[in-house]
Amino acid sequence: MLDKVKELIGDVKAFNASTKEEVEIFRIKYLGGKGLLKELFAEFKNVDAQLKKDLGQALNTLRNAAEGKVTELNASLENNQSQKSFYGDLTRPSEPINLGSRHPISLVKNQIIEVFNKVGFTVSEGPEIEDDWHNFTALNLPSHHPARDMQDTFFIEQDPDILLRTHTSSVQVRYMEENQPPIRTISPGRVFRNEDISARAHCIFHQVEGLYIDTDVSFADLKQTLLYFTKEMFGKSKIRLRPSYFPFTEPSAEVDIYWGLETETDYRITKGTGWLEIMGCGMVDPNVLKNANIDPVKYSGYAFGMGIERIAMLLYQIPDIRMFYENDKRFLEQFKSVI
């Protein structure tokens, strides 16, 4: 009988279970009312006195081992279960992550960059705090030139030489100073003008300006590039160039696109004409080339500049420029689906 009990101790110690039900079956088998231990202890009464000591000890060991096993297995299964509920069902598809969206200004800027990248323009950037030379003088706007009033300027700390750039043409001057033709570059960036804030104007806004310089560049090249741009950007293929004035280009023009008059909104935004002004452009003035150390006899070029807000307002029918800067989530979330 002693051998049998010893064998059972070995069985109990080796036992393992993966569910609580298995542990319960084990408990009933050993410790239950009609279990093995009950049976063995009953048999124990009839055993010879000299065997009782060893057998008694062995039976106690068996009982303790069985009880210990039940507690241990139950505890570890409980732990497993709480770990399971902590991680949940690991095979379940994950929760959707709430992604942010790009700001409409970035979206439109990237779109413009992409259109010009396709025809060989690179992107160039420059400082927002500029000096007089790059923002004005080099662009054929010497001090006291009346056209400086076209762009009301923020100056910094009463130093008339340091200012917040009023356009990204300043980047083009920097680019020309550092690179010789052929030049094909666009300069996106933030610009500043001391203007009253309204639904149509803001003191901070964004521009993309373009510059193309090479031998034999003509106004026809400019027109073709603009046509390509309006087709890609707006899907409109009718443009009109109106004579205009910029100190840094000669001749200069404003570019209008034919938007159409199909809807009521078309009437409102085009003031009933069907035409919309979208940018300024012209052939780079030889003085500007000279100022940036480019030979105006050998080279010629064109330049253009547009406001990103204006284009975004047209594309997405945004009625008020101030909406771009308010960071209202209800406004920004509407651009989630645009890449």
To which residue do tokens 């741009």 refer? 229
Q: Is 303 in the site for ligand PHE (CB under 6 A)?
A: yes
The amino acid sitting at 217 is: V
Instruction: Name the closest residue to ligand PHE (Cβ).
Output: 305
Assign residue 151 a region: left if phi > 0, alpha if psi is -120 to 50, beta otherwise? beta
Is the Cβ of residue 134 or residue 167 nearer to ligand PHE in the bound state?
Answer: 167
What DSSP assignment string belongs to 29-53? HHHSTTSHHHHHHHHHTTS-HHHHH
Out of 104, 247, 280, 301, the only residue in the binding site for ligand PHE (CB under 6 A) is: 280
Q: Is 249 in the site for ligand PHE (CB under 6 A)?
A: yes
Is the Cβ of residue 153 or residue 249 nearer to ligand PHE in the bound state?
Answer: 249
Give the three-state DSSP class for 285. coil
Q: Is 305 in the site for ligand PHE (CB under 6 A)?
A: yes
Task: Sketch the per residue contact string, 180 through 219, with ligand PHE: x for CB under 6 A, - otherwise.
Answer: -----------------------------x----------
Backbone angles phi, psi at 171, to 5 degrees: -65, -35
Backbone angles phi, psi at 156, to 5 degrees: -110, 130
Nearest distance in Å: CB 163, ligand PHE: 14
Q: Is 167 in the site for ligand PHE (CB under 6 A)?
A: yes
Assign residue 131 a region: left if phi > 0, alpha if psi is -120 to 50, beta otherwise? beta
Candidate ranges 18-26, 55-63, 111-119, 301-309; the one touching ligand PHE (CB under 6 A): 301-309
List residues binding ligand PHE (CB under 6 A): 167, 169, 209, 246, 249, 280-282, 303-305
